[in-house]
Structure 1
Amino acid sequence: MGDTYAMKGGSKLASEIYHSKVSSDDPNHVGEKSVNRDEQEMARLGKRQELRRNFGFMSMLGFSCTLMITWEGLLTVFVYGLTDGGPAGLIYGYLFCWLGYFTVVASLAEMVSMAPTAGGQYHWTFLFAPKSCRNFLSFITGWQSVLAWQACLASAAYLGGTIIQGLLVLNYPTYDFQRWHGTLLLYSVILLAMLFNTYLAHQLPKVEGAVLIVHIVGFFGVLITLVYLAPHGNAHDVFVLYLSNGGYDKGTSFFVGLITTVFAFIGADGAIHMSEEIRNASTVVPHSLVASIALNGTMGFCMLIAILFCIGDIDDALSTPTGFPFIEIFYQAVRSNGGATAMSAIVLSLMIFATIAVLAAASRMMWAFARDNGLPGSRFISRVEPRTKLPLYSVGVSVVITLLLGLINIGSSAAFNAVASLVVSGYLGSYTLPMVLLLQKKILDPSSIHYGPWTLGRGLGIFCNVFGLVWIVIVMIFSFFPSVRTGLTLQSMNWSCLLWGGTMLIGVGSYFGYLRGRYNGPIVETDIIEQVHGV
């Protein structure tokens, strides 16, 4: 990158600079009025601007909404909620998770307004943690975040590929379903995502704004068609009917089934990792985070109610040969392969665009962590291509990882799903430490917090932190439960606990082994230190 980094002790200066209260209206601040606010905030955090800022509020709102694709994602995975909890469990579980996610996202929005960097959670953990352990806690947070985004990228590409397979099954009864077909289709989706993140990257803000329109218009297209043409159930079957097909008692079944809604909101922090490419990031990112969770949550809840009223025969939906109950529900609604395919194609196209957004966020998270020496091969991964000002090396590494993970599906879909199961635990785990540390500061030392332009206030902020943390603990515990209690097999077992624990051990081993002495928290560029202190 050609950057000059501070030696070893530079990461400690990152915290000192942050707490120095240098602000954009300080008359002694570097660059004074000639330097825009984003550069000032980056300098305050000890980072040089390396990426091109070409995202605004609408493009970032589109990015956030289409990355989460809540109503579309809900359709692809609501089989788990139907199995554990049933229709009523899905309804009330959705409301519980929406509120939980909202408090978590509000907490993240407050922190990104304080320190808008691509590293996000691990950077905040370093800033808020005690000096004695901040390097280690920061590393563990960053490690979880990197793994979660890589697993999410593989999952998004896999869902796109397998939805195509489901449509082939619907339209061609003689089609011979093979797992390697799904892997090749996964490859096509991820390579398309790579195209948009490299050669067409300069068009990505415009694309995301346009996809937001498709996201909203497609919602109404599917919703109106479904409600108008499909046979309707009664309110009892939607708001009262609980199912415990997984073999758990009623209460446990409800919590195990939450995984459907949790997955539908996954990736809520995506905009955070694009912070260094957003104009006025300290206000635009928080606004886009909160607006996207509100908009997506509303559309997701409406679609959930509609799909449950129009579900028809639940057994047929669960046993569909396409592998996706929503395709069978669409078919039962329109009684036409062509109509069901057209409706499913909307979901498929948005899943592909979500993969494009996930690759952008995943590569930025990897790039940021590598920039601070948090990964093996950091010197290579952290390079920025000077002409395009894009982290093309981290984009390429992310694509290669997904291509390799896709090979696992050929041998065993259960093994691939085990890897993908890192998504929930990795994301929620990366949110936990910065929220705990911020809450501790709010209660014990509120004067030490230097809020950004977007803040919740002390009372509401403490509520969001506490409720969000309690919600994370509940969801993480039950995300490790298998969807069925009886007759467990290698295919039906939930391996996420083993994978999450194993990857955490690998991370700890890396920190005390290969990366020993190399990762010292966010690195500060020495020339930025001089600028901030007016040298």
Structure 2
Amino acid sequence: MYTQETKRANATDMCDVDHPSISTREIDDAELARMGKRPVLKRNFGLWSILGFSCTILITWEGIVVLFLQAYQNGGPAGAVYGFIFVWIGVASTFVVLSELASMAPTSGGQYHWCSMFAPKAAMKLTSYLTGWLTVIGWQATFATSCYLVGTLIQGLITLTQDSYRPQNWHGTLLFWAVAVFSLVINLIGGNLLPRFEGLILVLHLIGFFAILIPLITTADHGSANEVFTHFLNHGEFPSQGLSFFVGMVGCMFAFAGGDAAVHVGLSSSVDDANLRELANLVKLVYQMSEEITNASTAVPASIMLSVLINGSLGFGMLIAMLFCLGDIELALESPTGYPFMSIFLQATGSVAGTAVMGSIITTMGISTSVGMLATTSRQFWSFARDRGIPGWRIWSQVHGKNAIPVYSVLLTTTIACLLALINIGSSVAFNDLVAMSISGLYLSYMAVAGLLLYRRCTGEIRDSNDSNTETVNTAGARLVWGPFHLPGVCGVLVNTFALIYMSIAVFFSFWPPSWVVTVDTMNFSVVGTFGVILLSLIYYILRARRIYVGPRVEFRYSEESLAAAE
């Protein structure tokens, strides 16, 4: 029999808990079984590595530096500061909702699985299907954008250090492909390499912040607090400063994009192909213990919330430092590198070598983020294919090798990104619309599940986690129970509501162009891309998917009968 100490044990890594016959891996497999899923993928991430994964997917302070121009031109210094604060609060509330959902249903399907849990039976299939495709759009665009930004950052560093170099769009495409191939290699090796890699990058993420902040603030001439906190700009010539402010927030939104990354990677399960009897025995054993010993349902929400706290703090600190150390902003805006921050660093340090080192830290972090984004994008794609939501699902849902890697999904994701890189050869402006597609796709998927969660919590249809330990829960048609992490009562309703308001603003303004006078070059075509893919997915749904897609498939149903069979 388990002791009280064992019941309170919180298994936060891949080590065994205080019982010789059960490990955290088995606990996570049991949780997956209660949601009707057989274990398929190998679970390699502990709390430290998944925290590193979450933080380095967001890389908010690096993103603020790279996308600094967008917030500055529409909003100015003051707009950038107050816009960041608003986005940070909105993202925190959104991440609370995602953490509640991840705690309830720790599965790599993420948003489309959660939709199937909450949606009315008549609308479950279509709602879940569309949410799955929105998540696919968002993550495919996010991975491609990450590779693109890194490729152009490398071009900027070459321009900075080599006066004779003349950047061309096709150079950026080749560098894009190099980053994508590097990400592919790390992901295909898989195993324990990826979580160790992400844990190492977390250290670089934190050290790199101070390696840039300290030289910047000690060598640059400082502006006044009045200029930073009261000076607004409207370079987009919008009819009002308020409209300019909201358009400028898109850069900050993208710097926080990817909060569900830990969901799709951190919630993959073990490679064991357990049969029905073994799973029933495992669930019986695990749920004699306290809910607190679970790993994924506590580690992933913890990593999500810690990542928004860490990244938000670092991002805000770097933004304030950049605004106080602008130097000659007109010179920075005309930088031949294509990135104003490189000119700001150069004016501050007076050293090309020093600026190159500082820029290399940000570029290295960008490369590392691309590795993690490929892992997230391919796992989400694999999970949706496993549930037959994607054409060719038999191929994309396969896993290979002792590390159980969805190789075909990884290869297809890389191929899609490399094909999208060809757009950059014709127009770098058109490729920039992928940034907006990333925001619109991911936030629309968040909105769908957040709205359904708000409805269910207001109607009181979600029970306490201890109400039911002997049946399938938190999947389509099953009972809904809270996980270890959730905000109770009115507090949860208020946070959930504010998250929906923030996400509505984010999606609406992600479709806006950067200036009021729109030309072919400044037009934001992301609305065409986002809803174009949705339209194609609906056509596929009508022709094929409505007959084979039934939502997240229940591969194992845990009940009193299966418990009796196990005994």
Q: Report the TM-score when normalising by structure 2.
A: 0.86
Match of 1:295 in 2: 310
What displacement does 1:501 show?
A: 2.0
Contact 1:414 1:490 in 2 (8 A): no
- CA change 1:532–1:217 in 2 (3 A) is farther
CA distance in 2 between partners of 1:161 and 1:366 (Å): 24
- CA change 1:218–1:532 in 2 (3 A) is farther
Alignment of structure 1 residues 383-398 onto 2, 5 Å: 383-398=398-413
Match of 2:55 in 1: 65
1:441 and 2:472 correspond = no
Match of 2:118 in 1: 128
- CA change 1:288–1:447 in 2 (3 A) is closer
Match of 1:344 in 2: 359
Mean Cα displacement is larger for which, 319-328 or 283-292? 319-328
Contact 1:70 1:300 in 2 (8 A): yes
Counterpart of 1:213 (choices 203, 207, 231) is 203
Match of 1:480 in 2: 511
Matched AA of 1:219: F
- CA change 1:532–1:458 in 2 (3 A) is farther
Counterpart of 2:144 (choices 134, 148, 154) is 154
SS of the residue corresponding to residue 122 of structure 2 reads coil
Contact 1:82 1:243 in 2 (8 A): yes
Counterpart of 2:493 (choices 462, 465, 470) is 462
CA distance in 2 between partners of 1:305 and 1:201 (Å): 39
What displacement does 1:174 show?
A: 1.8
Counterpart of 1:273 (choices 261, 264, 278) is 264
- CA change 1:420–1:256 in 2 (3 A) is closer
**Root mean square deviation, CA, Å:** 2.0
Contact 1:109 1:285 in 2 (8 A): yes
Q: Report the TM-score when normalising by structure 1.
A: 0.91
After superposition, give the CA deviation of every residue in 1:394-428 in whole Å (9 maximum; x if it has no partner): 11111111111111111222232234431000010
Counterpart of 1:193 (choices 145, 164, 183) is 183
CA distance in 2 between partners of 1:359 and 1:445 (Å): 38
What displacement does 1:33 show?
A: 6.8
Match of 1:5 in 2: none
What displacement does 1:240 show?
A: 0.5
What displacement does 1:516 show?
A: 2.6
CA distance in 1 between partners of 2:551 and 2:564 (Å): 24
Counterpart of 2:555 (choices 525, 530, 535) is 525
Aligned positions, number = 506
Counterpart of 2:31 (choices 41, 66, 84) is 41
CA distance in 2 between partners of 1:505 and 1:385 (Å): 32
What displacement does 1:126 show?
A: 0.2
Alignment of structure 1 residues 298-377 onto 2, 5 Å: 298-377=313-392
Match of 1:512 in 2: 542
Contact 1:230 1:334 in 2 (8 A): yes
Counterpart of 1:260 (choices 234, 251, 254) is 251
- CA change 1:127–1:318 in 2 (3 A) is same
Structure 2 unaligned runs (5+)? 1-7, 9-19, 270-293, 464-479
Mean Cα displacement is larger for which, 406-415 or 66-75? 406-415
Matched AA of 2:264: H
- CA change 1:520–1:529 in 2 (3 A) is farther
CA distance in 2 between partners of 1:145 and 1:332 (Å): 41
Match of 2:470 in 1: none
Contact 1:110 1:452 in 2 (8 A): yes
What displacement does 1:498 show?
A: 2.0
Mean Cα displacement is larger for which, 488-497 or 164-173? 488-497
Contact 1:49 1:276 in 2 (8 A): no
Contact 2:301 2:485 in 1 (8 A): yes
Match of 1:14 in 2: none
1:378 and 2:393 correspond = yes
Match of 2:291 in 1: none
Contact 2:511 2:526 in 1 (8 A): yes
SS of the residue corresponding to residue 159 of structure 1 reads helix
Matched AA of 1:335: G
1:53 and 2:43 correspond = yes
Match of 2:482 in 1: 451
Counterpart of 2:224 (choices 212, 217, 234) is 234
Match of 1:20 in 2: none
Match of 2:528 in 1: 498
Mean Cα displacement is larger for which, 381-390 or 88-97? 381-390
What displacement does 1:481 show?
A: 1.1
Matched AA of 2:252: T
SS of the residue corresponding to residue 452 of structure 1 reads coil
Runs (4 or more) in structure 1 with deviation over 6 Å come to 527-531
CA distance in 1 between partners of 2:57 and 2:81 (Å): 23
Contact 1:154 1:420 in 2 (8 A): no
Matched AA of 1:135: K
After superposition, give the CA deviation of every residue in 1:71-106 in whole Å (9 maximum; x if it has no partner): 001111121111100110000000000000000000
Mean Cα displacement is larger for which, 353-362 or 489-498? 489-498
What displacement does 1:275 show?
A: 3.2
SS of the residue corresponding to residue 515 of structure 1 reads helix
Matched AA of 2:256: F
After superposition, give the CA deviation of every residue in 1:412-469 in whole Å (9 maximum; x if it has no partner): 2223223443100001001011111110011123455410111111222111110000
1:87 and 2:87 correspond = no
- CA change 1:531–1:306 in 2 (3 A) is farther
Matched AA of 1:99: I
CA distance in 2 between partners of 1:266 and 1:363 (Å): 17
Counterpart of 1:96 (choices 42, 66, 86) is 86
- CA change 1:361–1:409 in 2 (3 A) is same
What displacement does 1:530 show?
A: 9.9
SS of the residue corresponding to residue 188 of structure 2 reads coil
CA distance in 2 between partners of 1:105 and 1:66 (Å): 16
CA distance in 1 between partners of 2:200 and 2:300 (Å): 19
CA distance in 1 between partners of 2:224 and 2:562 (Å): 65
What displacement does 1:497 show?
A: 1.8
Mean Cα displacement is larger for which, 101-110 or 440-449? 440-449
- CA change 1:475–1:91 in 2 (3 A) is same
Contact 1:43 1:532 in 2 (8 A): no
After superposition, give the CA deviation of every residue in 1:489-512 in whole Å (9 maximum; x if it has no partner): 222111122222222212222211
What displacement does 1:528 show?
A: 6.8
Contact 2:33 2:556 in 1 (8 A): no
Match of 1:13 in 2: none
Contact 2:137 2:530 in 1 (8 A): no
Contact 1:44 1:532 in 2 (8 A): no
